[in-house]
Structure 1
Amino acid sequence: MAPMLLLIGFLIAGLELTGARSVGVCSGKNGNNLPTDGEVVDLYKSNGIGSMRIYDPDQTTLNALKGSNIELIIGILNNNLQALTDATAATNWVQNNIRNYSDVKFKYIAVGNEVHPGDAEAQFVLTAMQNIHNAIVAANLQNQIKVSTAIDTTLLGNSYPPSAGSFNAAANSYISPIINFLVNGSLQYQNLFDALLDSLYSALEKAGAPNLQTVVSESGCPSEGDSAATVVNAGTYY
């Protein structure tokens, strides 16, 4: 399942959490007297900040991030969404801003930022996401980079208690197709073994034992001896 990037309107910096993998900080350029991109990257490194979000594919920033091992969320500006409804444009975007920076540790692509149902750009978000995702798959980067979008919490109609959370009526028709794409379009098994093992986990969960430790004691797929025992089928399994 692909993650949906959620904007919550504030940033907590310098907070250490037990068991947390990394602290991430957004890096924007709306301001004056800003440090250089190299200084920003050095600041991240010196403070152990392992993740960064940028809001557009700024080439100076991307060059500064080369070899830094900082995980990156890279954004696509809202005014670029319509252009990316063209598949060729999406392929070019991935080539120019992802593949040309092989030393940058891309983690997510946020296709659009805080687009609301009534915005003119809303009609372009899903198609742009699909095209960017297809371009990522064509580049064989789908296991490294996930495609999503960033929303803010004003799309929620109800948020308390949390168990009753739901999107508001105006947002539902906009966000539901995006959610369906993220759930159905990105869940893939790379081999039959993983699919079989997940089937067992699901069965155990339904039987009331979701935390039962499982050990795989034997595994394999023959390539001879039966009509279905082919090299092709063995390759699928592995």
Structure 2
Amino acid sequence: MAFSSNSASEKPFRVTMLLLLGLLMSHIGASGAVGVCYGRNGDNLPSQADVVNLYKANNIGQMRIYDPDQATLQALKGSNIQLILDVPKDKLQELTDSAKAGDWVQQNVLAYSADVKFRYIAVGNEIHPADAEAKSVLPAMQNVHNAIAAANLQGQIKVSTSIDTTLVVNPSPPSAGTFSPEASSYIIPIIQFLAQNGAPLLVNVYPYFAYIDPILPTSIPPRKSACLTHAQYAGLEKAGAPNLEIVISESGWPSEGNPAATVENAGTYYRNLIGHVNGNTGTPRKPGKAIETYLFAMFDENLKAAGTEQHFGVFSPSKEQKYQLTFA
């Protein structure tokens, strides 16, 4: 069921958005910019060259891709679009070998670095401490960083990893948030590496999933959503890195597949988030600096699991905008 702009049932949704966005602005101190994640898990999507042209036509200056797709990297040459490039999950163990990491960086980063503006290398996406790949994340990060540093590009290209919000427990009140004992042994050495090298932690934030949590009564999701971000900072402070910056590497709202997943709700979420990022109004901790945020995602992807997962795109595969967003 859609929440119309005049419906009383939209009030909790609006409260969720206000609380979440207020906390994002109160706690994140990276340079403000809006990017969009470019996933390719569909069989009806435009060519990579057309996608890059669509970014440029809509003044989207930052992109995230989830593997070093050569056609995308070729299309990005000379575009001035800043890029987050992921190391895919199935490559993490391989890149614990420094020589193989050097080869990967040479082939996928250095070969393009004169013409493509790499911003971050995300070594793994939402790897959990119990995953078999977890032990490979930090060594792979170190090896990728070393290869970039050997080319004297460590000041331009930062190496990080992207986590979700589940590594933090006790999120209510947010100040009680802390990394779980299982997560601490995994994430604290990573945090230390990031702090040493001036790199941010990349975090995927999805208030939508808290909002639809069937366990929680209607009055709770707004507070739960706010905790998603606030508690991350409490966790970082307890981990000894209170000044570590966070980049929101994914945040989105689906337009179909659930009563709360409507074009109206998704459009409200994206417009409000973009407005805060582009406002550059500053934060109490870092006046004059807004958040750096990547919307998820550029397109609906029809090869994902049926349901909401297929409907996170801000554009349709035909390159039509769903929400009339202004990115710049």
TM surpasses 0.5: yes
Q: Please point out which of 12, 29, 37 is paired with 2:40.
A: 29
Count of aligned pairs between the two proteins: 171
Partner of residue 182, structure 1: 194
Shift, 1:159, TM fit: 2.5
Once the two structures are superposed, residues 147-178 of structure 1 have per-residue CA deviations (whole angstroms, 9 ceiling, x without a partner) of 00010111111333333321122211111111
Aligned equivalents of 1:46, 1:141: Cα separation in 2: 29
Q: Identify if the C-alpha distance between structure 1 residues 175 and 21 changes in structure 2 by more than 3 Å, giving closer, same or farther.
A: closer
Query: Any idea what the Cα deviations from partners look like across 1:41-63, whole Å, max 9, x if unmatched?
Result: 11111111110000010000000
CA contact (8 A) 1:157 1:169 kept: no
CA distance in 1, matches of 2:162, 2:79: 24
Three-state SS of the structure 1 residue aligned to 2:36 is strand
In the alignment, which residue of structure 1 is the partner of 2:178? 166
1:29 corresponds to which letter in structure 2?
A: R
Q: Distance in 2 between matches of 1:158 and 1:66?
A: 45
- Structure possessing the higher radius of gyration over alpha carbons: 1
Cα displacement string for residues 56-114 of structure 1 (whole angstroms, at most 9, x for unaligned residues): 10000000100000000000011101111111111111110011112000000000111
Question: What is the distance in 2 between the residues matched to 1:129 and 1:143?
Answer: 15
CA distance in 2, matches of 1:125, 1:57: 17
| Mapping 1:1-238, distance limit 5 Å | 21-101=32-112, 102-184=114-196, 186-187=197-198
Indicate how the Cα distance of structure 1 residues 150 and 62 shifts in structure 2: closer, same or farther if over 3 A, else same: same
**Partners of 1:158 and 1:112 in 2: CA distance:** 25
Q: Which runs of 5+ in 2 are unaligned?
A: 1-30, 200-284, 287-328
1:159–1:166 Cα contact (<8 Å) kept: yes
Distance 1:157 1:68, change over 3 A: same
Compute the RMSD of aligned alpha carbons.
2.0
Counterparts of 2:130 and 2:150 in 1: how far apart (Å)?
32
**Partner Cα separation in structure 2 for residue 95 and residue 129 of structure 1:** 15
Q: Distance in 1 between matches of 2:174 and 2:117?
A: 34
Secondary structure of the corresponding residue to residue 33 of structure 2: coil
Q: What amino acid maps onto 1:30 in structure 2?
A: N
Over 2 Å off, 4+ runs: 158-165
Task: Supply the distance in 2 between the matched residues of 1:97 and 1:84 (Cα, whole angstroms).
Answer: 13
The one-letter amino acid of 2:120's match is Y
SS in 1 for 2:175: helix
User: Displacement, 1:122?
Assistant: 0.4
- The Cα offsets for residues 202-236 of structure 1, whole Å up to 9 and x where unpaired, read as xxxxxxxx99xxxxxxxxxxxxxxxxxxxxxxxxx
For residue 183 of structure 1, report the CA deviation from its aligned partner.
1.3
- Report if aligned partners of 1:55, 1:74 keep a CA contact under 8 Å in 2: yes
Code of the aligned partner of 2:118: F
- Identical positions, percent: 63
Alignment TM-score, normalising by the size of structure 2:
0.50
Q: CA offset at residue 187 of structure 1?
A: 4.5
Q: TM-score, normalised by structure 1?
A: 0.68
Q: Secondary structure at the match of 1:149?
A: strand
| Matched-pair contact (CA < 8 Å) for 1:107–1:144 | yes
Separation in structure 2 between the aligned mates of residue 33 and residue 156 of structure 1, nearest angstrom = 37
